[in-house]
Amino acid sequence: MLFALSAYDGDFGALTPYSVTIEVLDGFDNPIQGAEVTVEENTKYTDINGLVGFENLEGDNSYTINKTTYLDKEGTITHNDTDSIITVNLELIDNTAPLVSIISPIDGEYLGEDNITVEWNIADISPYTWELYLGGASNPQATGDYDDPHSFTFYPSDPDYFASYHGLVTFRVEVVDSQDNSNNDSISVNIETRADLLPDFRGGYWCFETNNESQVIFYVKN
């Protein structure tokens, strides 16, 4: 009786064998086949669906996951994970900067007062986040990641965007992946956000004159 009370210690769950399935995915949630999964000293390999099962576990168990070209991953399985699927994402070892390219509009394009939809492509083997900047602003106008649309529309008539911009305006896309590799691309386009009024000399030397009522008439053109 004394031995039974000591072994029980108020937690049957820690002594009850249980099973778990570990699901190994890449950074884009695709299954990884052939990943080496070790729970304590028991090693198995994931199947075509990225799954591997372990049975007769007791208490908490540490695990490690290894796969060539991927970063190793470690974790802990607890008895609360009974009969559950534990999903683990592995990241590719990535030493290259993302490739980012703004494809629209074209650098140097004259857009007048038209709405401006900036579109860009990003290629990288690791998950990434992007930021879209207008001009030299320190705060991005839009942010997202690899799952979000790689486009954003500006409206030249909207003062929230272009109150202080006119003429040549720069758009910049900055990208950082999950392993801190970064890159950017930028373009400059011409836009019109306010009336383009210029002195009108009408072929002469002066752009103004006085009338018979001593009023000054100033000539301008758009």
**Res 195 pLDDT > 90:** no
pLDDT value, residue 15: 63
Q: Which CATH number fits domain 99-191: 3.40.1620.10, 3.40.1280.10, 2.60.40.10, 2.40.30.10?
A: 2.60.40.10
Highest mean pLDDT among 13-27, 35-49, 150-164: 35-49
Distances in whole angstroms, Cα of residue 78 to Cα of each of 20, 36, 96, 183, 211: 10, 20, 37, 40, 93
Secondary element (H or E) of residue 61: strand 61-66
Range 65-68 contact pairs with CB under 8 angstroms and sequence separation of 24 or more: 65/22, 65/24, 65/35, 65/36, 65/37, 65/38, 65/90, 66/35, 66/36, 66/38, 67/24, 67/32, 67/34, 67/35, 67/36
CA-nearest of 168, 132, 171 to 149 is: 132
User: Which superfamily does CATH assign the domain made up of 2-89 to?
Assistant: Immunoglobulins (2.60.40.10)
pLDDT tens for residues 99-108? 999 999 999 9
Domains 2-89 and 99-191 agree in fold: yes
Domain boundaries, the chain: 2-89, 99-191
pLDDT tens for residues 59-87? 899 999 999 999 999 999 987 766 788 99
The pTM score is 0.60
